Amino acid sequence: MNTKIKSEMLREMCAMFSSLNINYTDRSDVIEAYNNWAEIGYDKVYSSDVFYAPKKTAEVLEDLYPLEGDKKGVKILDVGAGTGLCGVELRKLGFRNIDGLEPSEKMMTEAMKKNVYDRYIIEFITEARLSIPDNFYDVVTACSCARHFPDGFPEIARIVRPGGVLVILSNYDAVDMEMETMVQKLEDEGVWRIVRKEIIDEFFSIANQRGILILIEVLTDGRKLQDQRV
């Protein structure tokens, strides 16, 4: 499919969702939206030749874990896994221990066809406890999805081991104040520290979107975070 056809499909998708008046901070609306996107051909528009965010996210991890042995051992949770695009790029670079978490069942059905995750977790990250133990993952990736769950950032910190990382890559124009505030709040509280924050020129070319990359190191033991929240 050429870029012109993809651009037209994207315009049609955006027009359709605009007509639905979807609130992208409302969980049920978000799930409905992504179920619809999966049905009408998400992957046809968000292919790797125009949607660079999954590849960029994977490359950040390759810089952190350049050795083959490290790649195979590091435990990764791909949050907002969607149809598995980030999982595909991680597998290409040699990462093997990858789980996917996604609230949209229809998006996750598409991801299952790619066979890139070890576990397929259908949950929405919120302030509530996930069905995941404390300090379980070395890495959490959040590619083009973090604006949907800023209230869930403390829960992400709980499931990442101290010294582990969170990689956020979002559409620069879609980053809202609530997300920025929560990221900063958790740094101020000593839960994590922002290691790197920069604008990425190539994010989604047919929509002329830039990205913002935030690399975060988790500092606090997840068991302490859970105790503080009980």
The reply to whether 33 falls in a domain is no
Name the domain count of the chain.
Answer: 1
Mean residue pLDDT of the chain comes to 88
CB atoms within 10 A of CB 158: 25
Residue 118 counted as domain residue: yes
Looking at residue 42, its pLDDT comes to: 85
pLDDT tens-digit series, residues 200-210: 998 887 778 89
Q: Which of 221, 223, 94 is nearest to 162 (CA)?
A: 221
Q: If we measure between CA atoms, which residue out of 15, 27, 19, 7 comes closest to residue 125?
A: 27
According to the model, what pLDDT value does residue 5 have? Answer: 59
Which region among 91-95, 175-179, 224-228 has the lowest average model confidence (pLDDT)? 224-228
Cα–Cα distances in angstroms (integers) from residue 120 to residues 87, 107, 112, 123, in the given order: 11, 11, 8, 9
d(CA 219, CA 75): 17
pLDDT computed for residue 95 by the predictor: 97
Give every CB contact of residue 77 below 8 A, 6+ residues apart in sequence.
Answer: 98, 99, 100, 101, 132, 136, 137, 139, 140, 141, 159
Dist CA 167 CA 148 (whole Å)? 15
Query: Residue 192 belongs to a domain with what CATH number?
Result: 3.40.50.150
- Taking phi over 0 as left and psi of -120 to 50 as alpha, with beta for the rest, 115 belongs to left
Alpha-carbon distance of 124 to 145, in angstroms, equals: 11
The 10s digit of each residue's pLDDT in 63-85 is: 999 998 889 899 999 999 999 99
Please say whether the beta carbons of 141 and 55 come within 8 A. no
Domain contains 156: yes
pLDDT score at 229: 54
Burial 170-201 (b: 16+ CB within 10 A, else e): bbeeebeeebeebbeebeeeebbeeeeeeebe
Q: List the domain range (segments joined by +) for residue 197.
A: 50-229
In a domain, 72, yes or no: yes
In a domain, 189, yes or no: yes
pLDDT of residue 161: 97
22 lies in some domain: no
Closest CA relative to residue 58, chosen from 120, 122, 141: 141
- Reference 139, options 44, 73, 202; nearest CA is 73
Answer yes or no: is 29 within a domain.
no
Name which residue leads in pLDDT, 22 or 140: 140
Predicted confidence at residue 3, as pLDDT, reads: 61
DSSP state of 125: -
What average pLDDT does range 195-202 have in this prediction? 93
Domain annotation covers residue 121 = yes
Q: What is the pLDDT of residues 132-186, one digit of tens each?
A: 999 999 999 999 999 889 999 999 999 999 999 999 999 888 777 889 999 999 9
Residue 91 has pLDDT above 80, yes or no: yes
